[in-house]
Structure 1
């Protein structure tokens, strides 16, 4: 429906649509401006009251003879506030109102005046819990989209930085921002992503980025390796934009989706660049080694335990010395699931009880579980290493992908011995090799296709561009 020039028709329509008589937070205020009836609509809690008050005070002294014939002239003469718009579509107006933008209806004008003085409840831009760094900036994304775009703008003061806004969801109308550098982005990929987002028809993005990811890239569920990289750090997101990547921000989500992302991108961390090249290279290589150890350590140990004759003399200490009451495969699988149980319990434990419960869990699951005969000390040692090593990955999705591959390797090794270990390894390698990024390129580039200079950049931390320029 189009906005009518009759204030009564407009008021009747919006009263039926918005029902301010039922919804207490929908505020409708009848006014008199320049001798004409007017009506203001806003959402309580989404509006900067001081700003709106000043705007209304500026209009209170308008005389009847001073009223212009159209809304455009009225806005130019009497609304000095910067973010003023004109809207004729009532449906679009309702969406803006529910997003927090107040609007003003004046009798005789067939357009509504939108006054964007909205504000959202927001927490401070403190450092994210998961993406911490030893050195570097300590700010992080929050749940408010405008704050997140401002954090990126603060780092990239280039007019070629583009931030396109669109919304998804029949009920939620969730705001989404696509951020990229106009002169560096892959235009074909950008158009593909933009088209996919526009074709998404859902009721709401209940799970924010995850809901959007499953809509724009309905990949095969049985390959657990993540297609997307998520970051709660503005510096990481800004660096990715400058490298030609695309960042997608979703309102109500404190993280950015980085596209496209290969496994090397997902393994990277901000600490690699906040330290000198030698230290950054060491951190990166350490993380790569831990990546493989997390996957292969326990299956390889199980393989040796099933074939003691294969153990060389210098590795004789890895043999289980105590009596085995529960088969090693069952010990390893029980611990795999028990660790996830402990992780879920830690998430739901009140902070005041975290320390005492951690001590209790450490004693019970550590010393007593070994003494009772359920677990051998060697099994506990290797699973403890794997558990801690998982936290060296900032990506939860990559950590769980390695976990699923490790469990598969354990089961195949137990049933098929060496051939099972080889089969499990081939499956894990196949999941990496045959995986594709959202751009359709190799997931493990520059290994396949092989590109030596790019591979060196991925493994070794080179000097930053400004270092090379300044010598």
Structure 2
């Protein structure tokens, strides 16, 4: 096992244990199913109250000799046609021959549903019903049948909003867990692809699936992920963002140590690299881990195009990060303290544009940056068509009006617009670099280039100190690993990328294909 995985530190229980304030009686969940059908029915109705969506279909099994039974389901979560033809119609028209294996006979010879289980506790009964399954209780038996009849309205597989591509698959995850696992299984057809399900949330009981490829993913990381998720004790999980915040290594860092994606092909690529994917029912965003800093400048389309252009676009993304983080602070420091850093003609031109502006460089950049964030937030939160119009018109009108009124200079508007656009180039770092932009603006106003240099040193020290599930965040550049440098800022051809990262996967050897060169004679 490599030296990085050995440094994986299990988080203490008090960091991942989130106590719930609920006073629910845990003994109720341990209650067993009784042989008295009416007693069971009375207890179930008491727990559900007067919920109008709970359906109690009482029936008699058999046509001559009859046995009372009841089927319980939730309207809107089940396939009623499946219940009618594969369950009710069959059990109501059979000839009953009382014998000891009656339940086994019903399960194996009468009910034609594919997924059927026998349960004996009220806890399993409630979990099944609330998950969209149907439960059948039979008089005289202390067990029940739990059948998978789930069928609800969901959003179809559409093109994802985030991470759209010119070349490559255009499918995106949905809010339905089974659809998402099928999208991954469709791409990776191997029995080594494992989907482990965990239930989380005291009230929501959200299904969480941990996906990994056995033999490629490191077992120590897989066990650590399961351990952290199993220790979560919270009222509800409504999105994968909950899981991300509850299990990440550096909760106070600006930088994400757990990745996320809305694209099945990207998730499949992470699995093939030895990473782990976490899918949460009800969320179209899946989590990937361990997550390295360089993954922020990588996109799935990089691997579908030729390596030269992929490398060029990655360098553009790195340049965008530098522009967003350092350009406003550099402008402020150059205007305030370090005028010698600018060419003479450029400085004279910029000084001329600032003539009549009552605010120093820091204040005008701060005003324009805050105004841009306001417009961006308004464009996101408002209805789509109105939001787009508001963002475009607002930026043009307010920017022109601010320059015309003499509140800000033209260079301040240009720098704000450039940094704002560059922010969207690296959307996964949108939150981080936006905050860093304001931080370096303050450092540039307080100490000029020296203040920005001090801030850069602390930023780099922070980046090389954090880890993501045992993997150094800046790997393979810090610490440097030449073997893993084939897919960093420069993307080598696919036929040369014949190994996995040794800081993540326990199986670093890939199936490689030699470059074939056909020469005409």
Check conservation: 2:172, 2:263, Cα contact below 8 A.
yes
SS at match of 2:477: coil
* Structure 2 residue 420 is the aligned partner of structure 1 residue 392: no
What's the counterpart of residue 365 of structure 1?
398
Q: Deviations over 1:395-417 (max 9, x none)?
A: 1xx22211222211111221122
What RMSD in Å do the two structures reach over aligned CA positions? 1.9
Q: Given the alignment, which residue of 485, 490, 503 partners 1:455? A: 485
Check conservation: 1:267, 1:394, Cα contact below 8 A.
no
* TM superposition score normalised by structure 1: 0.94
Q: Deviations over 1:392-448 (max 9, x none)?
A: 1131xx2221122221111122112232121121222222122221x2221101111
> What displacement does 1:86 show?
0.7
Taking the aligned partners of 2:472 and 2:388, their CA distance within structure 1 comes to 44
Taking the aligned partners of 1:174 and 1:33, their CA distance within structure 2 comes to 34
* Structure 2 residue 51 is the aligned partner of structure 1 residue 23: yes
What's the counterpart of residue 334 of structure 1?
367
Q: For the structure 1 residues 314 and 234, does the alpha-carbon distance in structure 2 shift closer, same or farther, using more than 3 Å as the test?
A: farther
Q: Greater CA deviation, 244-253 or 421-430?
A: 421-430
Q: For the structure 1 residues 334 and 72, does the alpha-carbon distance in structure 2 shift closer, same or farther, using more than 3 Å as the test?
A: farther
Query: Which blocks of at least 5 consecutive residues in structure 1 are unaligned?
Result: none
What's the counterpart of residue 348 of structure 1?
381
* Structure 2 residue 357 is the aligned partner of structure 1 residue 312: no
Structural mapping, 1:217-236, within 5 Å: 217=248, 219-221=250-252, 223-236=253-266
SS at match of 2:365: helix
Query: Which blocks of at least 5 consecutive residues in structure 2 are unaligned?
Result: 1-30, 496-510, 517-521
SS at match of 1:65: coil
Q: Given the alignment, which residue of 200, 203, 217 partners 1:171? A: 203
What's the counterpart of residue 210 of structure 1?
241
Q: Given the alignment, which residue of 191, 201, 207 partners 1:159? A: 191
Taking the aligned partners of 1:358 and 1:368, their CA distance within structure 2 comes to 15
Q: For the structure 1 residues 356 and 220, does the alpha-carbon distance in structure 2 shift closer, same or farther, using more than 3 Å as the test?
A: closer
Taking the aligned partners of 1:353 and 1:405, their CA distance within structure 2 comes to 30
Q: Given the alignment, which residue of 415, 425, 428 partners 1:382? A: 415
What's the counterpart of residue 404 of structure 1?
435
Structural mapping, 1:39-438, within 5 Å: 39-55=70-86, 56-65=88-97, 69-206=101-238, 208-217=239-248, 219-221=250-252, 223-306=253-336, 307-313=338-344, 316=347, 319-322=350-353, 323=355, 324-395=357-428, 398-437=429-468
> What displacement does 1:214 show?
2.1
Check conservation: 1:30, 1:37, Cα contact below 8 A.
yes
Q: Deviations over 1:54-103 (max 9, x none)?
A: 12112221123367644233201111221111111111210111010011
Check conservation: 1:435, 1:442, Cα contact below 8 A.
yes
SS at match of 2:117: strand
Q: Deviations over 1:203-225 (max 9, x none)?
A: 1114x22211222236342x201
Q: For the structure 1 residues 132 and 214, does the alpha-carbon distance in structure 2 shift closer, same or farther, using more than 3 Å as the test?
A: same
Indicate the structure whose relative CO is greater, using CA pairs within 8 Å and at least 6 residues apart: 2
Q: For the structure 1 residues 470 and 14, does the alpha-carbon distance in structure 2 shift closer, same or farther, using more than 3 Å as the test?
A: farther
> What displacement does 1:39 show?
0.4
SS at match of 2:352: coil
> What displacement does 1:50 show?
1.3
SS at match of 2:140: coil
Check conservation: 1:299, 1:413, Cα contact below 8 A.
yes
Check conservation: 1:88, 1:112, Cα contact below 8 A.
yes
> What displacement does 1:365 show?
1.8
* Structure 2 residue 513 is the aligned partner of structure 1 residue 468: yes
Q: Greater CA deviation, 294-303 or 163-172?
A: 294-303
> What displacement does 1:454 show?
1.8
What's the counterpart of residue 15 of structure 2?
none
Q: Deviations over 1:270-300 (max 9, x none)?
A: 1211211121111112212222222111212
Q: For the structure 1 residues 220 and 12, does the alpha-carbon distance in structure 2 shift closer, same or farther, using more than 3 Å as the test?
A: closer
Check conservation: 1:68, 1:74, Cα contact below 8 A.
no
Taking the aligned partners of 1:317 and 1:384, their CA distance within structure 2 comes to 22
Q: Deviations over 1:103-153 (max 9, x none)?
A: 101112221111101023211111111110111111100111111001000
Corresponding pairs, count: 464
* TM superposition score normalised by structure 2: 0.85
Taking the aligned partners of 2:303 and 2:59, their CA distance within structure 1 comes to 57
Check conservation: 2:136, 2:146, Cα contact below 8 A.
yes
SS at match of 1:391: helix
Q: For the structure 1 residues 317 and 2, does the alpha-carbon distance in structure 2 shift closer, same or farther, using more than 3 Å as the test?
A: farther
> What displacement does 1:463 show?
2.3
